[in-house]
Structure 1
Amino acid sequence: MGYATRSRILEKLAIFQQRNHKTTMPENPNQPKEYDAVLGGDSQPPSNAVVLGGLEGVKRRFASTVESQRILALNDALNYGESGLDLVIQALQDESGGVKWAAYSLLLTKTETKVSIALEKFNPYQFFECLRTFKGHSSDIYCVAIAPDGKTIVSGSLDRTIKVRDLVTGESLHTLHGHSSDIYSVVIAPDGKTIVSCSYDSTIKVWDLVTGESLRTLAGHSLSVYSVAIAPDGKTIVSGSADYTIKVWDLVTGESLRTLAGHSSYVVSVAIALDGKTIVSGSYDKTIKVWNIVTGECLCTLAGHSDDVRSVAIAPDGKTIISGSSDKTIKVRDIHRGKLRTIQGHSDDVRSVAIAPDSKTIVSGSRDNTIKVWDIVTGECKCTLQGHSGAVHSVAITPDGKTIVSGSWDTAIKVWGIR
């Protein structure tokens, strides 16, 4: 089914869902209701009417060979109580990917226990595919970030530029020039108005996302800056550098607030917990360190990787640290107890890890040119996304968890999701 057709169907589903929200369970699921088409009389049935026959009529339409009709029949099934709900749950096992996805989308609004159980077993990522590919950078893409509204992508490249694009259309909104060398990391402030970038030129730059204007340059590291993160309050920046240090900055003034020292090699990844109090850093010294952002105290050092730690992320629940390494593994740890679990599956360096908003899903990008989606608890690989012809150096997930964006050494940005 084409994207436009699917969109129209889903729009109609949304209208139906609003109606369903106000509909009480009928006593007899097979008895025609006010939204059914009834034979006889002079009045015309409503355009969105269910075929005569109540739930049995819905089941007949669901048996159609036309996918769009089957999807619309599923939504109508929700008008018929438990029996209709059971039909939608059963549709999660349908042979049609479109029908499965429609059933999944409808059930997300339901709170019944049996729905929760069914959704726990369902893997929506099995339907992910490459929706769009964006070109424009002339060299390797090292970093991508998604704005909080889920509508804008920012990317940084070894071509020394930052590009701002519309996520859906791919339209180039701005190209930012100012760094004098490779750009390793970009992040977007929680208000969606500010970009922060860092570079091999040892500087950090702050930009206006809307206008593309360079607002200020932060200098203080003595060597390349590999990673930046912004605190949830939007007031603080944290950076990791080849000078083995982490610096904490005031975003507005550009003032360096403190320097955290303790790693014995390059600090290539930093992340800030949603509480705004905790920093996690990953280093070429094969360790992860947890820091107090206010005092600068190192709270603990986590070992376990046998090679460089390339990427770290903190789950939205604030309890879990994820790390990706050149040892080809992903490690999952409890931030308080340090309990360790190892996930294996990539055949080369894991260059980037991200955690979905539900805190249950990991997305990883690797030098093996693939993106993998994992269950954070079981370590099961839910799907492998293939399409890049170079190392996937950066992955990001939209705030609604429904779209993945990747940046690669093949100079392409790819958007992955359900067509």
Structure 2
Amino acid sequence: MDKKQNQPKEYDVVFGGDNPLPLGGLVLGGLEGAKHRLSSNILEERIAALSEVLNYGEPGLNLLIQALKDESEQVQNKAYSLLLSRDEQNVKEALRQYKPWQFFEYLRTTSGHSHPVCCSAVSPDGQILVTGADGIKVWNLKTGKQLYSLSSPGPKYVSISPDGETLLSAFYEYGQMQLWNLKTGQLIQTLKPEDSRHSTSIMVSSDWQTVVGVKNKSIEIWNLKTKKLIRTLKVYCGKLSCIALSSNGKILAGGSFDNRIRVWDLNTGKEIQTLEGHVQSVCFLAISPNNKIIVSCGEKSIKVWDLETGKLINTFIDHKRRIVSAAISYDWQRIISYSIDKSIVQWNLNTGQKLGTYQETFENVFFLLVTDKGQNFITISDRIVNIWDLHTAKISDTFSVIGHLVSISSLALSPDGATIYSCGGGDATIKLWDSQTGDNISTLFGHSAPVHCLVTKQDGSILFSASSDKTIKIWDVKNKQEISTIVGHSNRIFSLDISHNGKILASGDLDGNIQVWNLETKKEIYTLQQKAYSDYSRNGVFSLAISPDAKKLVSCTERLYPVLQVWNLETGEEIYSLTEVPVESIKISPNGQYLITGGQNRNAIEVRDLQTGTQIRTFPGQIDCLTISPDGEAIFVGSKDKSIQIWNLNTGELVRSLKPHPFYYDRKAIAISQNGQILVSGKGGNINIWGVRKVE
């Protein structure tokens, strides 16, 4: 070892001068000084010393490893945080022995909505996209990355100011509007008159001076400059399908489900025009910047009207099926329309000439937005954003704005916890997430029906998924490609598990069949039949667990008709069964000694001897889902009290309760990485990520 490593460096504090040292005093620098500060009784001094020790090579690294055993949690956390980025073998071994779950905290939530997008807006410079669903999310259109999210319950309308600095959002149920700083995400002001409830439509003028809220029998007019309600007009509006507001905020047009377009003067509240010509309800309206032209879409046609006289000027027809969405370029030279046959048509708004036809790839497009002064346009389905180049008629970029459409049904992680795999019971996709940022990495398509469960091989190279389409798919994780499909089940598959050696896969379906597969040959070894609780009960297999030595298999049915069975995996014979034990989640400890079960109706986690089924101990609580730490010492429980509880399996002690958000955890939607550093849990259609927070 280089002796110079122990000497003071340029970053050490060394006092000089003519003054003598205090009697018995000693000035320490270098490694010895760091050692001295690490042994201090002053907590702040020990924490400060940790950042220094890495400057002294291997001896300093050993001091940092020793600090993992410090009596202070703060010192342990700081040492753990500093060691996470190291690649040395002794560091990796120390982190494996360390129990980070003692200090888990909420870190972040994955990007994406949990429900279909219901409103959207794009900034004037084409850089920012805002989407509303279960809250508001703000995206960088160039990268597809989520910038931040805003907590706004059920937004139905969003608009961005002409200077790109302010966002207006509205949710109709309470007639409430909110103004946000678009750059920082800070709430500026909430607009809500006492008598304002249940608006059916809201629209802001293009000059951002006026905002109008429409109800069944009244219209509210706001001045956005003063943030004050100007007046309320008592008019019968009926049920409107869409609205448009003139640039000066003086004229309001409403498309109705009775196929008419009504136009009101907002100064007087009088209806000044009724436009008739559509044969089905109107789905889109816009008033030109000079307030002379109104454009409407309904059935298969686009109509252009003279707003002053109410006369029809032009009609464009090309779509073969009903138009459901449209957008007009900023210069009002072009209109783009989308039909339910997935065709997109671009028109010259002045002449009616068709400029181009495109074919969308997704079934449902709910929004069309024009950006970059007409050079690009955006289509938004319930979950995907496509950015189109108007000149080439091709998609230039695409990204997802939704996690899963309904609650997550299963989660898995790469061994190092860097990548999260998720599936939702409501869609046929598997999503990959970056646990460090929460960003969606990619989406795997292949199943034709909702995906219910996921498992990975021990080395993380292969992912298995099972679905309502009765198939199991095998995925190459590195290349994000489907390798093969296993077919054999007669009904929807709801459970999967893989042996520790990666040679055996077990799958359970709604008919109660448990099929055991040889993964080397992709052939079925045998089929087991889950025992029914009674002659009249359904006996679908909803949870499976294979013991670490691949000698036992545990299966269970749903909680209404509970049956838990333990099988000899080598012979397929039943070892024992338990009835009237409502179990929804089952896990086997890494040492193969314990069977851990949990269920809502049981109000407890039960720890049993796997060999005999004898109950050893219980933990209280209403259980939605559970998993176990890789070291076998901790149980993580998603509970109905909206917390994740961490229990010491050996002592029965409650170690920690994680409770950052008011939501419920879904069945099976919890998992921990093999290195024990990342815990993930379902949050509706998204994922909460937990771990030890890095100390700066």
TM-score normalised by the shorter chain: which range applies?
A: 0.7 to 0.9
Deviation at 1:74, TM superposition (A): 8.2
Q: How far apart are 1:138 and its partner, in Å?
A: 2.6
Match of 2:489 in 1: 221
Q: Given that residues 156 and 183 in structure 1 are in contact (C-alpha distance below 8 angstroms), is that contact kept between their aligned partners in structure 2? A: yes
The aligned residue for residue 373 of structure 1 is 646
Mapped partners of 2:547, 2:607: distance in 1: 15
Distance 1:49 1:34 in 2: 16
Give the Å deviation of 1:247: 0.8
- Aligned mate of 2:550, from 276, 283, 296: 276
1:339 to 608, 614, 636: 614
Q: Which has the higher contact order (CA 8 A, sep 6+)?
A: 1
Partners of 1:56 and 1:67 lie apart in 2 by 11
Does 1:143 pair with 2:410? yes
| SS, match of residue 542 in structure 2 | strand
In 2, distance between residues paired with 1:383 and 1:184?
29
Residue equivalent to 2:365:
none
Note the alpha carbon deviations across 1:324-361, whole angstroms, 9 max, x for none.
11223111111123331343343x3x232211111111
Q: Give how far 1:36 is off.
A: 5.0
Contact 2:69–2:76 (CA under 8 A) maintained in structure 1: no
Shifted more, 217-226 versus 274-283: the winner is: 217-226
Alignment partner, residue 117 of structure 1: none
**Deviation (angstroms), 1:66:** 6.5
Contact 1:59–1:73 (CA<8 Å) still a contact in 2? no
Match of 2:632 among 359, 367, 389: 359
* Distance in 1 (alpha carbons) for counterparts of 2:481 and 2:530: 35
Query: Does residue 248 of the first structure (1) align with residue 516 of the second (2)?
Result: yes
Q: How does 1:271-350 map to 2 (within 5 A)?
A: 271-284=545-558, 285-302=561-578, 305=581, 307=582, 309-326=583-600, 327-346=602-621, 348=622, 350=623
Aligned-partner residue type, residue 599 of structure 2: S
More helix per residue? 1
Counterpart of 1:69 (choices 41, 48, 53) is: 48
Amino acid at match of 1:395: I
Aligned partner letter, 2:71? L
Asked if the contact 1:291–1:297 (Cα under 8 Å) also holds between the matched residues in 2, the reply is: yes
2:680 maps to 405
Match of 1:189 among 435, 457, 472: 457
In the alignment, which of 480, 501, 512 is matched to residue 212 of structure 1? Answer: 480
Deviation at 1:288, TM superposition (A): 2.4
Which ranges of structure 1 fall in alignment gaps of 5 or more residues?
1-21, 24-32, 39-44, 111-119
Question: 2:74 corresponds to which residue?
Answer: 98
Tell me, yes or no, if the aligned pair for 2:605 and 2:618 is still in contact at 8 Å. Answer: yes
Structure 2 Cα separation of the partners of residues 216 and 357 of structure 1: 29
Cα pair 1:245 1:261 within 8 Å, conserved: yes
Q: Could you tell me how far apart the structure 1 residues matched to 2:522 and 2:43 are? A: 63
For residue 128 of structure 1, report the CA deviation from its aligned partner. 1.5
Percent of paired sites with the same residue? 34
For structure 2, list consecutive stretches of 5 or more residues without a partner in the other structure: 15-26, 84-89, 92-96, 112-402, 533-538
Normalised TM-score (structure 2): 0.46
Q: CA deviation at 1:254?
A: 3.5
One-letter amino acid of the counterpart of residue 318, structure 1: G
In the TM superposition, residue 127 of structure 1 has moved relative to its aligned partner by 2.6
Q: Name the counterpart of 1:417.
A: 691
Distance 1:103 1:383 in 2: 20
User: Counterpart of 1:92 in 2: which secondary structure?
Assistant: coil
Give the number of aligned pairs: 360
RMSD between superposed Cα atoms in Å: 3.6
TM-superposed CA distance for 1:58, in Å, is 4.8
- Give the alignment of 1:130-169 within 5 angstroms: 130-135=106-111, 136-157=403-424, 158-169=426-437
Looking at structure 2, the residues matched to 304 and 341 of structure 1 have their Cα atoms a distance apart, in angstroms, of: 18
TM-score with structure 1 setting the length = 0.74
- Helix, strand or coil for the counterpart of 2:630? coil
Q: Which amino acid aligns with 1:186?
A: L
